[in-house]
Structure 1
Amino acid sequence: MNAKKVDKVATIILYLIAGFVVALLGIFIIYILYRGRNNIFDFNFIFGSQKLGEAGGGIGMQLFNSFYMLLVSLIITIPIGLGAGIFLAEYAKEGKIVRFIRLCIETMAALPSIVVGLFGLLIFVTMFKLGYSILAGALSVSILNLPALTRVSENAIRESSKKVKEASLGLGATKWQTIKKVILPSAMPQILTGIILAAGRIFGEAAAFLYTAGMTGNLYKFDAFSLTDKVSSFSLFRPAETLAVHIWKVNSESSSPDAFQIANGTSAVLIIVVLLFNITARLLGNKLYKAYSGK
């Protein structure tokens, strides 16, 4: 075959592989949503409290814990990961130290979540005496997300700086002004992708939270009209059972007669929340990119 035929065959094969992956993902999502269809539009389930030993129950506080954990984790992860990416791309000089740092980052990116969970248990829960808490869980999952976000930020900043860095510096801007006003806005789509991936891992993480954030708390008897409960729910030093941990707990302990249905409903809600978050973050990121780039 000549080069054109080889190119067409390769293109068709790649399209078939991509279509198979997308179809497999679509079937997986549809299957989860179908199994949890009875609970998706049930507000008593979505916003209700868990009932131990009896049917019914909801995931309201687990849903709140997941969003709260996401917020705290991203507050820790984004500044450090983005700052490390800026340093490696714009300030660090190539050498043995930088290569060693990149090696450490790549090694950390390959760590299993259960290992990070055990590390968080030993360091944050035990040594720093944070106990099973939101802060301990957020610090642990940040260790999982920092390497990936750092690498994404570094690559995005380095690629963007090739196009606009010299032009900005040539017009008299300082290096920090160039990074802040020109490079970062240009790299925003790629950086946002890294943040979305980090957020998805936070939502779906179970092993690290199991060892650091715990599975119980003071929220099963939560009273929305009680000022004390409202304040305590935002405490960083209380246990917090997230949606992913709740799915594992319900399946493993079967603490209620309808445990299987609750697990299916929780899985469906988790999928929908992740999809909505990704879509919202993407739309917001595109608006920010257009605002900064003037498009």
Structure 2
Amino acid sequence: MTSKTTDRAATLFFWASGVVIMLLLAWFLVRILGDGLPQLSWNFITGKPSEVMAGGGVGPMLFNSFYILFLSLLFSVPIGIGAGVYLSIYAKQNRFTDFIRISVEALSSVPSIVFGLFGFLLFVNLLGLKFSIIGGAATLSLLNLPVLVRVTEESLRSVPESYWEASLALGSTRWQAIRKVLLPAAMPILITGITLVAGRALGESAILIYTAGLSVSRHFPDFSPLAMGETLATHLWYVQSEAIVPDAKKIAQGSAALLLIVVLIFNLCIAIPSKMIQKRLTGGK
């Protein structure tokens, strides 16, 4: 087989792979949105759920989804970025740091239900937080940490070393070089990493079933971190498996469509500013 034939075959294969992925994505969106969009209404999106009567909404679950996401990022982003900066800049290259990196990579591949069981034992039972928003957010932050650490370390290593050397040559301290040079230069990749973990957190259910519970507060919105915090993803699982309301299927379809729309809008709201920041840092190239 000649090199030209090989090139054409490879091009055809990659084009076919891309088309298949796009078709699967289109089918996925059409199937979920086609069934769920007719169920969406203002009353459904903002209303309270119903355990017996038809016509309940998902307002508290939608609120809890963003509240738990905010708290989990509040815990995990500073620690994850700090650990990534330490491994990239301050840590010496030895067996101990290699062991830490291997451990972080191993944690990033652990199934989420394992984190859920760990959070149940630690936060719900040992610390006595019971099923609560704070327990779910703390456990969710543990799920986010390995990814954030690796993304931060790799993003800092992708910054040209000349930036670091030039900053130190001008008299900057290490912290000043990190804060004013490395982190701004690595910001687009960091934002992408935070977007990925945030999108995953919005759709997470296994962890929150064991830590945040399958019920919501009687008050809406309830900012108490000790209140039970059923999210939209866990509510979707609940109505599909255990709910006794007569319109459980319609609620599940609407919840799935709403969750998909929320994740897409959330990712776009972060991705667009990230692209603008990247263009500004690269001079519009």
TM-score (norm 1): 0.91
- Whether contact under 8 Å (2:80, 2:149) holds in the other structure is yes
Question: Which residue pairs with 1:88 in the alignment?
Answer: 87
Question: Which residue pairs with 1:66 in the alignment?
Answer: 65
- Whether contact under 8 Å (1:121, 1:212) holds in the other structure is yes
Mapped pair 1:7 → 2:7: yes
Which amino acid in structure 1 is aligned with residue 31 of structure 2?
A: Y
The offset of 1:117, in angstroms, is 0.6
Question: Which residue pairs with 1:262 in the alignment?
Answer: 251
Distance 1:265 1:163 in 2: 52
Mapped pair 1:278 → 2:267: yes
Please list every run of 5 or more consecutive structure 1 residues that lacks an aligned counterpart in the other structure: 223-228
Give the alignment of 1:155-194 within 5 angstroms. Answer: 155-194=154-193
Question: Which residue pairs with 1:198 in the alignment?
Answer: 197
The offset of 1:171, in angstroms, is 2.8
Which amino acid in structure 1 is aligned with residue 246 of structure 2?
A: P
Aligned identity (percent) is: 45
Question: Which residue pairs with 1:114 in the alignment?
Answer: 113
Q: How many matched pairs?
A: 284
Distance 1:292 1:126 in 2: 48
Which amino acid in structure 2 is aligned with residue 181 of structure 1?
A: K
Which amino acid in structure 2 is aligned with residue 179 of structure 1?
A: I
Distance 2:16 2:269 in 1: 29
Mapped pair 1:123 → 2:122: yes
- Whether contact under 8 Å (1:89, 1:158) holds in the other structure is yes
- Whether contact under 8 Å (2:188, 2:277) holds in the other structure is no
- Comparing 185-194 and 113-122, the one that deviates more: 185-194
Please list every run of 5 or more consecutive structure 2 residues that lacks an aligned counterpart in the other structure: none
TM-score (norm 2): 0.94
Distance 2:65 2:32 in 1: 19
The offset of 1:151, in angstroms, is 0.7
Question: Which residue pairs with 1:45 in the alignment?
Answer: 44
Question: Which residue pairs with 1:36 in the alignment?
Answer: 36
Distance 2:267 2:102 in 1: 30
Question: Which residue pairs with 1:225 in the alignment?
Answer: none
- Whether contact under 8 Å (1:133, 1:212) holds in the other structure is yes
- Whether contact under 8 Å (2:124, 2:211) holds in the other structure is yes
Which amino acid in structure 1 is aligned with residue 123 of structure 2?
A: F
Question: Which residue pairs with 1:103 in the alignment?
Answer: 102
- Secondary structure at 2:229 match in 1: coil
- Whether contact under 8 Å (2:61, 2:216) holds in the other structure is no
Per-residue Cα deviation, 1:155-199 (whole angstroms, up to 9, x for no partner): 111111435222222333222222111111111121111111111
Per-residue Cα deviation, 1:228-247 (whole angstroms, up to 9, x for no partner): x65xx001111100000000
- Whether contact under 8 Å (1:203, 1:244) holds in the other structure is yes
The offset of 1:215, in angstroms, is 0.8
Q: 1:262 to 1:79 in 2, by over 3 A?
A: same
Q: 1:163 to 1:29 in 2, by over 3 A?
A: farther
The offset of 1:114, in angstroms, is 1.0
Mapped pair 1:244 → 2:229: no
- Secondary structure at 2:48 match in 1: coil
